Structure formats: structure tokens, C-alpha cells
């Protein structure tokens, strides 16, 4: 009978799911406490709206969930990919805004592209986002400037630069926002309008789904992904193994920026009339992507599920206004749930510590019950002595003379 193998991969997956579930439950309980404080009479109804209204509202509500989840999935993939490669891409907000500007710019002036217009707009969003992440990547690789500092600065530089560029290139002065993109720049529905009639969801969600799968393959099934993760774990060891660590760091930031930029393009090319306003405000999609990445534990498929969950909570929060909850309370509850989702790693650490503590106690009890047999081990049996190896030690020369003359022995 073969011994049963331990399934460490399955245990890790269950542990990750359990820690994320605990974070979600704590966030929901915190939101319920806020509801009780703000409006005790409608607290249960409002809480039920958060948890159930996106499902009970029909296919339209589910489509709205996927629409709001799409940009969060992309920024979550951006932050999670950087986490997997040992970097903290806190600049997803600036990359998101810069990618959105690139998509809008091509969407306004690229009408001659015809049927490929929307696709070229998304490529522009990817390039603009990658370009904005290239600078922190170069600073990290060649000057060892921490990516948190440089990417935070790039967030604000990107915000002010995009405001300046909009005014100079595609500005609607009456509404203080960018010009509307052409109809050919809008992402096709790709059949999503038939599945979820009346909602804003389009083919952008399918693109986000494909990006999650592709990123999973790159990180886990390719040598390129292995090198990126190896550099994130130990730069010196990777250099000793022949990996170009500077190239890997730059590519990690560039890919992360491209994902955030693509998220901006998917949002502003959705055909919902959403435009970039010329205001001094950072895009919250980038910061919410951090919580999505933490809730999904930086796993591409986990980030996909976490983004859908956050979109679900956002739609449920909108429906809470039917129960006399002011929009500010809705925003507080939604933010509380989102940021409690970031505690998934903390819960995972707590569960891991308890598990290892139990294992150590079990090992100590096992060793106490084991008999001490190491002192009763007989000496090794080397067999009978070999006469050929037995040689007599010659006596000293003076002793030999005494023996031959008969003077040996004790003089007493």
C-alpha cells in the first residue's frame, strides 16, 4: 500500500480562500455597525440591499456588477503582478489616468481607423500606462530608488500633466472635461448586451477575463514569469544564476503599468458617456486596485474574483439609497468593506501561526512518547582480529641491551 501524499497545494488554496472570506465577513459586520448607528430602523433592510439586491435585481444588476468590476480587475492585476515580482506598484492611479488619456486622445482624433479604432485606442492606453510605469522601473533598477516613493510622485505628476494635456488637446470648456470619443472608439458589446440587457457591461469585461488568464499563464507556466518572481525574491541570487535583474525589474513595472493603463481605456471607452474631468483628484480605481490585489492574494484568478466581489458591493451600495441612507453613508460602508478586504493577508498569517503552533505541539508530544534507544546501540562488529596486521612494537635500544645482558627487570 502506497503512503498517502500530503496535498500542500490544496491546503494553501483553502487557507487563502479562508483568509479572504474572513476579511469579507469582518468588513460586512463593520458596515452593518455603521448602518445601525446611522439609521437603526432601516439597518437590516439596507444590509440586505448590499448582500442580496445585485442578485435579486435580475440580469441587469449582474451586468452592472461586471461593468464596475472591469477597471478594478485591471488595476488589481497591476498591483498583484507587481507584488508577485517583489514590487509595490502604488502608482496604479497615475498609470490608470495616463492610459485613459491615451485612449481618449486616439478615440477623439482616430476616426480614420474605422473598425480597428477601438482596438488602437486600447493599444494606446496600454502604451501610455506602460510608459508612465517605465520611469519608476528605471529608477528602481539603476538607482535603487524605492518604487513606492517614485510611483507616488508619478501619481501626482500624471494627474497634473493629464489635466494640462487635456486642456491643450481635447478639452470641452463648457463641461470642464475631455471631449467625447467617436462612436467607432467605443468597445463592442461582444454579446454581453444580450446576456445582460439594460446594463453598461460590454466586451471590456471579457478583455479583463482574458488578461487574468494570460497573466496566470505567464507567472506560473513560463520561464519569463519564473525569472520575474526570482528577481523579486532575491536580486543577488538571481544575478548569480545569470538572470538580468535590471531588465526584470523594469519589465515588471512596465507590465504592471500596461495593465493599469488598459483598465483606464476599458472604463472610458465603455460608451457610458464617462469623460476625464480637469480636476485635481487622483483616480480612486488605482487605490481600490490595491485592496482588490490584497483580497485576491495577488493571484490573477483570485484578483478576478475579488474585483467582481467589490463590484457587487458597489452595486449593492447604490441600491441602499432606496432605504433613506444618504450617499455619504453608502460611500463609508463601501470603503470600509473594500479596505477591510486588505486584511486578508493578516488573517492568513494568523491562521498560519496557529497551524504551525499546533504542529509544534504535536511534534513535541510525539518525541516525548518515543523510547530512547540510542544509548542501547551495540558497538560495531569489526570481526576477528587479523594476525597479519598485528605487529610487535620493538623495545628501545637500551632496553634490548639490558635484556640481552641479563640485566632487565626490577632492581629492587
When pLDDT is cut at 50, 70 and 90, the band that residue 141 belongs to is very high
What pLDDT, in 10s, does the model give residues 16-28?
A: 677 777 777 887 8
Residues in a beta bridge with 178: 171
Flag the least confident range among 97-106, 225-234, 361-370, 376-385: 376-385
Q: Using CA atoms, how far apart are residues 259 and 273, in angstroms rounded to an integer? A: 22
pLDDT exceeds cutoff 90 at 203 = yes
Higher pLDDT, 180 or 16: 180
- The DSSP 8-state label assigned to residue 183 in this structure reads G
The DSSP H or E segment spanning 172 is strand 171-172
Q: Using CA atoms, how far apart are residues 157 and 298, in angstroms rounded to an integer? A: 27
Sign of the alpha-carbon dihedral angle for 152, 153, 159, 161:
negative
When pLDDT is cut at 50, 70 and 90, the band that residue 384 belongs to is low
171 three-state secondary structure: strand
When pLDDT is cut at 50, 70 and 90, the band that residue 6 belongs to is very low
Residue 407 CA: distances (Å) to CA of 58, 394, 402, 404: 122, 18, 5, 8
Phi, psi of 277 (to 5 degrees): -90, 145
Are 150 and 250 in contact by the 8 Å Cβ rule? The answer is no
| Residue among 107, 80, 111 at smallest CA distance from 295 | 80
What pLDDT, in 10s, does the model give residues 27-79?
A: 788 888 888 888 888 888 888 888 888 888 889 999 999 999 999 999 999 99
What pLDDT, in 10s, does the model give residues 222-258?
A: 999 999 999 988 888 888 889 999 999 999 999 999 9
Parallel, antiparallel, or unpaired: how do β-strands 171-172 and 177-178 relate? antiparallel
What was the pLDDT predicted at 409? 46
Mean pLDDT of the chain: 84
What was the pLDDT predicted at 373? 52
Q: For the residues 287-311, what does the mean pLDDT come to?
A: 89
Phi, psi of 282 (to 5 degrees): -75, 150
Amino acid at each position: 500500500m502506497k503512503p498517502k501524499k500530503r496535498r500542500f497545494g490544496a491546503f494553501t488554496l483553502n487557507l487563502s480562500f479562508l483568509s479572504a472570506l474572513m476579511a469579507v465577513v469582518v468588513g460586512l459586520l463593520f458596515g452593518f455597525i455603521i448602518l445601525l448607528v446611522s439609521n437603526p430602523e432601516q439597518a437590516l433592510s439596507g444590509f440586505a440591499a448590499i448582500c442580496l439586491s445585485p442578485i435579486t435585481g435580475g440580469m441587469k444588476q449582474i451586468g452592472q456588477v461586471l461593468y464596475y468590476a472591469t477597471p478594478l480587475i485591471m488595476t488589481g492585476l497591476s498591483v498583484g503582478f507587481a507584488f508577485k515580482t517583489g514590487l509595490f506598484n502604488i502608482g496604479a492611479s497615475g498609470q490608470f489616468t495616463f492610459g485613459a488619456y491615451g485612449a481618449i486622445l486616439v478615440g477623439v482624433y482616430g476616426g480614420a481607423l474605422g473598425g480597428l479604432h477601438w482596438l488602437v485606442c486600447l493599444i494606446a492606453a496600454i502604451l501610455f500606462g506602460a510608459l508612465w510605469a517605465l520611469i519608476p522601473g528605471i529608477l528602481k533598477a539603476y538607482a535603487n530608488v524605492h518604487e513606492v516613493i517614485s510611483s507616488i510622485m508619478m501619481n501626482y505628476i500624471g494627474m497634473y500633466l493629464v489635466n494640462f494635456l487635456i486642456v491643450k488637446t481635447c478639452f470641452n470648456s463648457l463641461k470642464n472635461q475631455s471631449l467625447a470619443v467617436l462612436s467607432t472608439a467605443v468597445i463592442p458589446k461582444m454579446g454581453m448586451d444580450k446576456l445582460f440587457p439594460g446594463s453598461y457591461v460590454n466586451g471590456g469585461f471579457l478583455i479583463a477575463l482574458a488578461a487574468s488568464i494570460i497573466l496566470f499563464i505567464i507567472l506560473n507556466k513560463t520561464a519569463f514569469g519564473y525569472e520575474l518572481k526570482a528577481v523579486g525574491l532575491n536580486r543577488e541570487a538571481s544575478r548569480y544564476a545569470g538572470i538580468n535583474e535590471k531588465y526584470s525589474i523594469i519589465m515588471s513595472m512596465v507590465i504592471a503599468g500596461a495593465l493599469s493603463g488598459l483598465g483606464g481605456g476599458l472604463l472610458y471607452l465603455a460608451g457610458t458617456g464617462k469623460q476625464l474631468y480637469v480636476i485635481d483628484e487622483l483616480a480612486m480605481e488605482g487605490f481600490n486596485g490595491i485592496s482588490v490585489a490584497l483580497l485576491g492574494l495577488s493571484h490573477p484568478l483570485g484578483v478576478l474574483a475579488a474585483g467582481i466581489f467589490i463590484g457587487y458591493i458597489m452595486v449593492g451600495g447604490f441600491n441602499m439609497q432606496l432605504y433613506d441612507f444618504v450617499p455619504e453613508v453608502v460611500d463609508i460602508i463601501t470603503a470600509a468593506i473594500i479596505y477591510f478586504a486588505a486584511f486578508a493577508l493578516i488573517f492568513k498569517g494568523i491562521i498560519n501561526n496557529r497551524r504551525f503552533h499546533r504542529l509544534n505541539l504535536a511534534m513535541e508530544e510525539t518525541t516525548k512518547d518515543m523510547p530512547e534507544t540510542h544509548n542501547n546501540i551495540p558497538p560495531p562488529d569489526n570481526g576477528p582480529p587479523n594476525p597479519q596486521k598485528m605487529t610487535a612494537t620493538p623495545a628501545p635500544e637500551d632496553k634490548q641491551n639490558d635484556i640481552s645482558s641479563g640485566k632487565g627487570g626490577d632492581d629492587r
